Structure 1
Amino acid sequence: MKGFRDFLMRGNLVELAVAVIIGTAFAAVVKAFTAMITDIIGKFGGVPDFSDTSVGGISVGAFITALLTFVLTAAVVYWLVVIPYNRVSARLKKEQDQAESAPAVTSEDLLTEIRDLMRSQAAGSPTPGQVPDQR
Protein backbone atom coordinates (compact mmCIF):
# COMPACT_ATOMS: atom_id res chain seq x y z
CA MET A 1 0.00 0.00 0.00
CA LYS A 2 2.91 2.36 0.68
CA GLY A 3 4.05 2.14 -2.93
CA PHE A 4 0.51 2.86 -4.16
CA ARG A 5 0.22 5.83 -1.80
CA ASP A 6 3.58 7.17 -2.98
CA PHE A 7 2.43 6.77 -6.57
CA LEU A 8 -0.77 8.73 -5.88
CA MET A 9 1.06 11.47 -4.00
CA ARG A 10 3.72 11.89 -6.66
CA GLY A 11 3.76 15.50 -7.86
CA ASN A 12 3.44 14.64 -11.55
CA LEU A 13 0.25 12.68 -11.01
CA VAL A 14 -1.38 15.50 -9.05
CA GLU A 15 -0.32 18.04 -11.68
CA LEU A 16 -1.74 15.80 -14.41
CA ALA A 17 -5.06 15.48 -12.58
CA VAL A 18 -5.30 19.26 -12.21
CA ALA A 19 -4.44 19.69 -15.89
CA VAL A 20 -7.19 17.26 -16.94
CA ILE A 21 -9.78 19.03 -14.79
CA ILE A 22 -8.78 22.48 -16.05
CA GLY A 23 -8.59 21.15 -19.61
CA THR A 24 -12.12 19.77 -19.37
CA ALA A 25 -13.48 23.08 -18.11
CA PHE A 26 -11.50 24.94 -20.77
CA ALA A 27 -12.89 22.63 -23.47
CA ALA A 28 -16.42 23.57 -22.46
CA VAL A 29 -15.57 27.28 -22.80
CA VAL A 30 -13.97 26.74 -26.20
CA LYS A 31 -16.92 24.62 -27.35
CA ALA A 32 -19.37 27.39 -26.41
CA PHE A 33 -17.20 30.02 -28.09
CA THR A 34 -16.89 27.89 -31.21
CA ALA A 35 -20.67 27.43 -31.32
CA MET A 36 -21.04 31.20 -31.18
CA ILE A 37 -18.49 31.70 -33.98
CA THR A 38 -20.07 29.01 -36.17
CA ASP A 39 -23.50 30.59 -35.63
CA ILE A 40 -22.09 33.92 -36.81
CA ILE A 41 -20.50 32.24 -39.84
CA GLY A 42 -23.75 30.40 -40.52
CA LYS A 43 -25.76 33.61 -40.39
CA PHE A 44 -23.43 35.29 -42.90
CA GLY A 45 -23.67 32.20 -45.09
CA GLY A 46 -27.45 32.24 -44.89
CA VAL A 47 -27.58 28.99 -42.91
CA PRO A 48 -29.17 29.29 -39.46
CA ASP A 49 -27.44 26.20 -38.00
CA PHE A 50 -23.92 25.88 -39.35
CA SER A 51 -23.34 22.41 -37.89
CA ASP A 52 -26.00 20.91 -40.17
CA THR A 53 -24.35 22.26 -43.34
CA SER A 54 -23.71 19.75 -46.07
CA VAL A 55 -22.04 20.02 -49.46
CA GLY A 56 -23.19 17.61 -52.16
CA GLY A 57 -24.94 15.44 -49.59
CA ILE A 58 -21.82 15.20 -47.42
CA SER A 59 -22.19 16.69 -43.93
CA VAL A 60 -19.29 19.09 -43.51
CA GLY A 61 -20.70 21.30 -40.77
CA ALA A 62 -19.66 18.98 -37.91
CA PHE A 63 -16.16 18.66 -39.39
CA ILE A 64 -15.79 22.43 -39.84
CA THR A 65 -17.03 22.96 -36.28
CA ALA A 66 -14.50 20.43 -34.93
CA LEU A 67 -11.74 21.98 -37.04
CA LEU A 68 -12.62 25.46 -35.83
CA THR A 69 -12.68 24.20 -32.22
CA PHE A 70 -9.22 22.70 -32.68
CA VAL A 71 -7.78 25.87 -34.24
CA LEU A 72 -9.28 28.12 -31.56
CA THR A 73 -8.08 25.81 -28.77
CA ALA A 74 -4.58 25.65 -30.22
CA ALA A 75 -4.46 29.43 -30.65
CA VAL A 76 -5.59 30.10 -27.09
CA VAL A 77 -3.17 27.54 -25.64
CA TYR A 78 -0.33 28.99 -27.70
CA TRP A 79 -1.00 32.63 -26.84
CA LEU A 80 -2.04 32.20 -23.21
CA VAL A 81 0.13 29.26 -22.12
CA VAL A 82 3.07 28.54 -24.42
CA ILE A 83 4.31 32.10 -25.00
CA PRO A 84 4.13 33.17 -21.31
CA TYR A 85 5.70 29.87 -20.23
CA ASN A 86 8.59 30.30 -22.68
CA ARG A 87 9.18 33.86 -21.48
CA VAL A 88 9.22 32.83 -17.82
CA SER A 89 11.44 29.83 -18.58
CA ALA A 90 13.92 31.99 -20.49
CA ARG A 91 14.02 34.51 -17.64
CA LEU A 92 14.55 31.79 -15.03
CA LYS A 93 17.24 30.13 -17.15
CA LYS A 94 19.01 33.47 -17.56
CA GLU A 95 18.91 34.07 -13.79
CA GLN A 96 20.13 30.55 -13.14
CA ASP A 97 22.99 30.95 -15.63
CA GLN A 98 24.00 34.21 -13.98
CA ALA A 99 23.93 32.58 -10.54
CA GLU A 100 26.03 29.67 -11.77
CA SER A 101 28.55 31.95 -13.45
CA ALA A 102 29.16 33.93 -10.25
CA PRO A 103 32.21 32.58 -8.47
CA ALA A 104 31.26 30.59 -5.41
CA VAL A 105 32.96 31.46 -2.14
CA THR A 106 34.84 28.41 -0.97
CA SER A 107 35.77 27.48 2.56
CA GLU A 108 39.40 28.09 1.63
CA ASP A 109 38.55 31.68 0.67
CA LEU A 110 36.81 32.22 3.99
CA LEU A 111 39.66 30.67 5.94
CA THR A 112 42.18 32.86 4.10
CA GLU A 113 40.14 35.95 4.94
CA ILE A 114 39.92 34.93 8.61
CA ARG A 115 43.70 34.28 8.70
CA ASP A 116 44.43 37.69 7.19
CA LEU A 117 42.13 39.40 9.73
CA MET A 118 43.79 37.58 12.61
CA ARG A 119 47.25 38.59 11.34
CA SER A 120 46.24 42.21 11.02
CA GLN A 121 44.77 42.21 14.54
CA ALA A 122 47.90 40.58 15.94
CA ALA A 123 50.07 43.19 14.22
CA GLY A 124 47.99 45.95 15.80
CA SER A 125 46.47 47.29 12.61
CA PRO A 126 42.75 48.02 12.65
CA THR A 127 40.34 45.54 11.18
CA PRO A 128 37.93 46.70 8.53
CA GLY A 129 35.26 48.86 10.19
CA GLN A 130 37.40 49.43 13.29
CA VAL A 131 38.56 52.96 14.11
CA PRO A 132 42.32 53.13 14.73
CA ASP A 133 43.58 54.53 18.04
CA GLN A 134 44.32 58.26 17.84
CA ARG A 135 47.04 58.43 20.54
Structure 2
Amino acid sequence: MEGFKKFLMQGNVVELAVAVVVGTAFTAIIGAFTEAIINPLLAEAFNADELASAEVGIFKIGLLIAAIINFIIIAAVVYFVLVLPMAKMKERHDLRKGISPEEPAETDVDILHDIRDLLRAQSGPAQRL
Protein backbone atom coordinates (compact mmCIF):
# COMPACT_ATOMS: atom_id res chain seq x y z
CA MET A 1 0.00 0.00 0.00
CA GLU A 2 2.90 2.35 0.74
CA GLY A 3 4.27 1.90 -2.79
CA PHE A 4 0.88 2.75 -4.27
CA LYS A 5 0.72 5.97 -2.22
CA LYS A 6 4.22 6.89 -3.36
CA PHE A 7 3.24 6.24 -6.98
CA LEU A 8 0.13 8.42 -6.71
CA MET A 9 2.03 11.26 -5.11
CA GLN A 10 4.71 11.41 -7.81
CA GLY A 11 4.73 14.70 -9.66
CA ASN A 12 4.02 13.15 -13.05
CA VAL A 13 0.87 11.36 -11.92
CA VAL A 14 -0.54 14.47 -10.24
CA GLU A 15 0.36 16.65 -13.23
CA LEU A 16 -1.27 14.18 -15.59
CA ALA A 17 -4.46 14.11 -13.51
CA VAL A 18 -4.60 17.92 -13.46
CA ALA A 19 -3.98 18.03 -17.23
CA VAL A 20 -6.81 15.60 -17.91
CA VAL A 21 -9.28 17.52 -15.73
CA VAL A 22 -8.31 20.91 -17.16
CA GLY A 23 -8.26 19.52 -20.71
CA THR A 24 -11.75 18.09 -20.30
CA ALA A 25 -13.10 21.38 -18.95
CA PHE A 26 -11.34 23.32 -21.70
CA THR A 27 -12.73 21.00 -24.37
CA ALA A 28 -16.24 21.65 -23.04
CA ILE A 29 -15.67 25.42 -23.33
CA ILE A 30 -14.37 25.13 -26.89
CA GLY A 31 -17.24 22.79 -27.79
CA ALA A 32 -19.78 25.30 -26.47
CA PHE A 33 -18.04 28.14 -28.33
CA THR A 34 -18.10 26.18 -31.57
CA GLU A 35 -21.71 25.10 -31.07
CA ALA A 36 -22.93 28.61 -30.18
CA ILE A 37 -20.91 30.76 -32.57
CA ILE A 38 -19.00 28.86 -35.26
CA ASN A 39 -21.64 26.27 -36.18
CA PRO A 40 -24.40 28.84 -36.86
CA LEU A 41 -22.04 30.88 -39.03
CA LEU A 42 -21.00 27.84 -41.06
CA ALA A 43 -24.57 26.56 -41.26
CA GLU A 44 -25.55 29.93 -42.71
CA ALA A 45 -22.73 29.63 -45.28
CA PHE A 46 -24.03 26.18 -46.32
CA ASN A 47 -27.71 27.30 -46.20
CA ALA A 48 -28.45 24.57 -43.65
CA ASP A 49 -30.62 24.59 -40.54
CA GLU A 50 -27.63 23.40 -38.51
CA LEU A 51 -24.03 22.56 -39.33
CA ALA A 52 -24.57 18.83 -38.81
CA SER A 53 -27.03 18.80 -41.71
CA ALA A 54 -24.70 20.71 -44.06
CA GLU A 55 -23.96 18.54 -47.07
CA VAL A 56 -21.67 18.67 -50.07
CA GLY A 57 -22.97 16.16 -52.56
CA ILE A 58 -23.61 12.93 -50.66
CA PHE A 59 -21.17 13.80 -47.86
CA LYS A 60 -22.34 15.29 -44.58
CA ILE A 61 -19.39 17.63 -44.24
CA GLY A 62 -20.72 19.77 -41.39
CA LEU A 63 -19.65 17.48 -38.54
CA LEU A 64 -16.16 17.14 -39.99
CA ILE A 65 -15.78 20.90 -40.34
CA ALA A 66 -16.90 21.43 -36.74
CA ALA A 67 -14.43 18.81 -35.47
CA ILE A 68 -11.57 20.36 -37.44
CA ILE A 69 -12.41 23.83 -36.14
CA ASN A 70 -12.55 22.49 -32.56
CA PHE A 71 -9.15 20.87 -33.00
CA ILE A 72 -7.56 24.00 -34.48
CA ILE A 73 -8.92 26.23 -31.72
CA ILE A 74 -7.81 23.84 -28.97
CA ALA A 75 -4.36 23.36 -30.52
CA ALA A 76 -3.87 27.11 -30.97
CA VAL A 77 -4.91 27.93 -27.42
CA VAL A 78 -2.74 25.16 -25.96
CA TYR A 79 0.23 26.37 -27.99
CA PHE A 80 -0.15 30.11 -27.34
CA VAL A 81 -1.33 29.87 -23.73
CA LEU A 82 0.75 26.94 -22.46
CA VAL A 83 3.58 25.79 -24.73
CA LEU A 84 4.97 29.12 -25.94
CA PRO A 85 4.96 30.87 -22.54
CA MET A 86 6.56 27.81 -20.88
CA ALA A 87 9.29 27.73 -23.53
CA LYS A 88 9.99 31.45 -23.04
CA MET A 89 10.04 31.02 -19.26
CA LYS A 90 12.49 28.11 -19.57
CA GLU A 91 14.67 30.16 -21.92
CA ARG A 92 14.77 33.08 -19.46
CA HIS A 93 15.47 30.70 -16.57
CA ASP A 94 18.35 29.10 -18.49
CA LEU A 95 19.80 32.50 -19.38
CA ARG A 96 19.70 33.55 -15.71
CA LYS A 97 21.59 30.38 -14.79
CA GLY A 98 24.14 31.01 -17.53
CA ILE A 99 23.06 28.09 -19.68
CA SER A 100 23.42 28.97 -23.35
CA PRO A 101 20.78 27.84 -25.83
CA GLU A 102 21.45 24.39 -27.18
CA GLU A 103 23.37 24.03 -30.41
CA PRO A 104 21.19 22.75 -33.23
CA ALA A 105 21.44 18.99 -33.47
CA GLU A 106 23.41 17.57 -36.38
CA THR A 107 21.07 16.20 -39.02
CA ASP A 108 21.46 13.00 -41.03
CA VAL A 109 22.40 15.08 -44.06
CA ASP A 110 25.19 16.79 -42.11
CA ILE A 111 26.53 13.42 -41.00
CA LEU A 112 26.42 12.11 -44.58
CA HIS A 113 28.32 15.19 -45.78
CA ASP A 114 30.98 14.54 -43.12
CA ILE A 115 31.30 10.91 -44.21
CA ARG A 116 31.60 11.98 -47.85
CA ASP A 117 34.31 14.49 -46.98
CA LEU A 118 36.24 11.87 -44.98
CA LEU A 119 36.02 9.39 -47.85
CA ARG A 120 37.27 12.04 -50.28
CA ALA A 121 40.19 12.84 -48.00
CA GLN A 122 41.11 9.15 -47.66
CA SER A 123 40.87 8.37 -51.37
CA GLY A 124 43.32 11.09 -52.35
CA PRO A 125 43.06 14.12 -54.60
CA ALA A 126 42.91 12.19 -57.91
CA GLN A 127 39.63 10.36 -57.28
CA ARG A 128 36.20 12.01 -56.99
CA LEU A 129 33.21 10.41 -55.30
Indicate whether 1:75 and 2:99 are aligned: no
Task: Answer whether contact 2:40 2:51 (CA < 8 A) is retained.
Answer: yes
The structural deviation recorded for 1:2 is: 1.1
2:24 matched residue in structure 1: 24
Which has the larger displacement, 76-85 or 42-51?
A: 42-51
CA distance in 2, matches of 1:48, 1:97: 60
Aligned pair count?
98
Spell out the pairing of 1:57-76 with structure 2 (5 A cutoff). Answer: 57-76=58-77
Secondary structure, counterpart of 1:58 in structure 2: coil
Give the AA of the match of 2:11.
Answer: G
Partner of 1:88: helix, strand, or coil?
A: helix
- Unaligned regions of 5+ residues in structure 2, if any? 100-129
Cα distance in 2 for partners of 1:45, 1:58 equals 13
The AA in structure 2 aligned to 1:33 is F
Instruction: Give the structure-1-normalised TM-score.
Output: 0.67
TM-score using structure 2 length: 0.70
Cα deviations by residue, 1:104-125 (Å, 9 ceiling, x for unpaired): xxxxxxxxxxxxxxxxxxxxxx
Alignment of 1:93 onto 2:102: no
How far apart, CA to CA, are the structure 1 residues paired with 2:4 and 2:54?
50
Larger Rg: 1
Aligned-pair RMSD on alpha carbons? 1.4
Pair 1:52-2:60 in alignment:
no
- Alpha-carbon shift at residue 82 of structure 1 (Å): 1.4
Which position in structure 2 is the counterpart of 1:14? 14
How far does the alpha carbon of each residue in 1:30-84 deviate from its partner, in whole angstroms, 9 at most, with x for none? 1111122121122243223012212212111111111111011111111111111
- Aligned to 2:43, the other structure's residue is in SS state helix
